[in-house]
A and B are shown apart, each in its own frame.
Chain A
Amino acid sequence: MASKTDARKALEIVEEQFPTLQILNEDGEIVNKAAMPALTDEQLQELMRRMVYTRILDQRSISLNRQGRLGFYAPTAGQEASQLASQFALEKEDFILPGYRDVPQLIWHGLPLYQAFLFSRGHFQGNQIPDGVNVLSPQIIIGAQYVQAAGVALGMKKNGKKSVAITYTGDGGTSQGDFYEGMNFAGAFKAPAIFVVQNNRFAISTPVAKQSAAKTLAQKAVAAGIPGIQVDGMDPLAVYAATHEARERAINGEGPSLIETLTYRYGPHTMSGDDPTRYRTAELDNEWEKKDPLVRFRKFLENKGLWSEAKENEVIEQAKEEIKEAIKKADAAPKQKVTDLISIMFEEMPYNLKEQYEIYQAKESK
């Protein structure tokens, strides 16, 4: 239909503005020198170390879950670059508001591993974040963390802090009202927030194409009047560069940003009965496994003489050892009681909880 109003024009222009930023390709070659972040050799090695460690943690968590030694668990393999390289661009004083799959970022931000295990097991001590670790426990309600991030960021601004709030959701999460509200509030208040969407192609079984008519999720930033970028979420350097810049803008008073990382979860949605073969093909799995963040980063570092099999094995051994220790520590947590839960409801117990405390104390001491 010939248009008299050109209403499609702005959309067409906008949609062309969101190419995927890639710095490191699948073969471990730098394809965008200009965007290369300034990371020292030690930093590059540390980022690799964290990705290897986290891949092992994922494998161990899955088998511990299968043995009944862990509870709720959302696999992370495939998403290491999106998760860890974005966290790597943060400072300790930055605050993370994670979704349920974002446990690795919390661990690298300082949450002790045994607490992550207690969270998985459904023990409240897993959520008692140590002082000085600036994170929330994983959010279960999709999108809720997005609006809260605007509040944390505005609070930082009011307190004159040079720090940012960063929050994560998935492609499915961008359909929630909270997603728009969070970005819009942070934009309106010029609050120092970073909104990350890990677009792993599926929300449980629902493909991203069914979430939205938008060609990219990054372009949703435009409506909020904030910068948005789509990056190769299997490329740790691109994720780091985009997050680092978003952080610089935020602490310079330029407000929030949206980052869409294109990634993939290799495993099931969670360990609670999801079967990805019902909605994904093996071809698609293979296609994405070829983009693996560890494989390409390993190649890159090996070419620079910064990584070796021996180094990798060292990390793997260390991860296994620390996981074992953390499980032991989680096992040693006191049995969770209903009376514990009654006592953490309010600062002061109202009459009903006082009565119920007595009742459950009697029950639980039997």
Chain B
Amino acid sequence: MAQMTMIQAITDALRTELKNDPNTLVFGEDVGVNGGVFRATEGLQKEFGEERVFDTPLAESGIGGLSIGLALQGFRPIPEIQFFGFVFEAMDSIAGQMSRMRYRSGGHYHMPITVRSPFGGGVHTPELHSDSLEGLMAQTPGLKVVVPSTPYDAKGLLLSAIRDNDPVIFLEHLKLYRAFREEVPEEEYTIPLGKADVKREGSDLSIITYGAMVHESLKAATELEKEGYSVEVVDLRTISPLDVETIIASVEKTGRAIVVQEAQKQAGVAANVVAEINERAILSLEAPVLRVTAPDTVYPFSQAESVWLPNYKDVMETAKKVLTF
């Protein structure tokens, strides 16, 4: 076992699969010599050569289209979008094309593509570098959407994503890249897609969340424990497809739930989770299911981001409303 940051765990997963499967290709803007702007692909070009790990011209729609074409030729592309805010450039490739290829061809073609990309707020980037756009992806039929919250999960989930025969959008919260280290096995292991993880058990309230908000929620749970509440934290890990089984089991146990996301409130992943709970477990509920989200503005100019981003205090406030309902 080694102590790894999330970025190291991601590099490790990429190296593992580049070794295992000669059809895997890693490419994108500045991923070669430079090792990616966050160094997620550090050393990979040196180790596997320019045929396997390479820089593309600067065009996200090009990267998306190239991935589709390479997949049609039997490769297993692992493209990087340098920041997920640039995905708008590749929306047709991803949401209009690769997500539909299996369906469009009646199952004849498939798209074993893993689109990796950093996203998320809290580090004072310029515009379109911090947006949480996973809701757009989760709303697109034909895509799987994965958001790891720890180094251990990142490695296991990324290996599953790469081995999956359908397109996976793999979103890496950039504030978590180097936030902490944990034990990560050097050997390979997988974590199945579509499986949530109970990161903390509790009996009074379920907090359902993903990404960086897992850590705010865990902090809130620790604080709430001091006030006598037992709080469970469910990390979705995959936001499409949702692990409704784990969500519902947790809610049936606690009878109360809140859903926490970093993204804006309108039409998001949290709304979808609330709807699933209402449709499947309404009779187990002792209180309405509430959401903790960012407000419905564009991602803020960086000077306001510390107030704009949801934090553990916001989680506690909403948790108490539900706990005392």
Contacts and interface: CB of A to CB of B under 8 A. Distances in A.
Given A100-B126, A360-B307, A124 B301 contact: yes
Contacts of A71: 124, 302
B62 to A, nearest CB: 7
A123 to B, nearest CB: 5
Contacts of B295: 338, 342, 353, 356, 359-360
A329 interface: no
Given A204-B30, A206-B30, A206-B55, A338 B298 contact: no
Nearest to A73: B126
Nearest to A72: B126
A3 interface: no
Interface residues of A, number: 42
A175 B33 contact: no
Interface in A85-142: 100, 121-124, 140-142
A2 interface: no
B298 A345 contact: yes
B53 to A, nearest CB: 13
A72 B125 contact: yes
Interface in B279-317: 295-298, 300-305, 307-308
A352 B129 CA distance: 25
Contacts of A356: 265, 295-296
A59 interface: no
B121 to A, nearest CB: 12
Contact of A172 (B58, B302, B304): B58
A211 B307 contact: no
Contacts of B304: 336-338, 340-341
Contacts of A340: 304
A122 B124 contact: yes
A121 B59 CA distance: 28
A75 B196 CA distance: 44
Contacts of A122: 124, 126, 301-303, 305
Contacts of A211: 57-58
A175 B57 contact: yes
Interface string B13-48: 000000000000000011011110100000000000
Interface in B125-156: 125-129
B301 A140 contact: no
22 contacts: A71-B124, A72-B125, A122-B124, A122-B305, A123-B301, A124-B301, A141-B88, A175-B62, A176-B89, A203-B58, A204-B34, A205-B30, A205-B32, A206-B55, A212-B57, A273-B37, A337-B307, A341-B301, A345-B298, A352-B296, A356-B295, A360-B295
Interface of B: 29-30, 32-35, 37, 55, 57-59, 61-62, 86, 88-89, 124-129, 265-266, 295-298, 300-305, 307-308
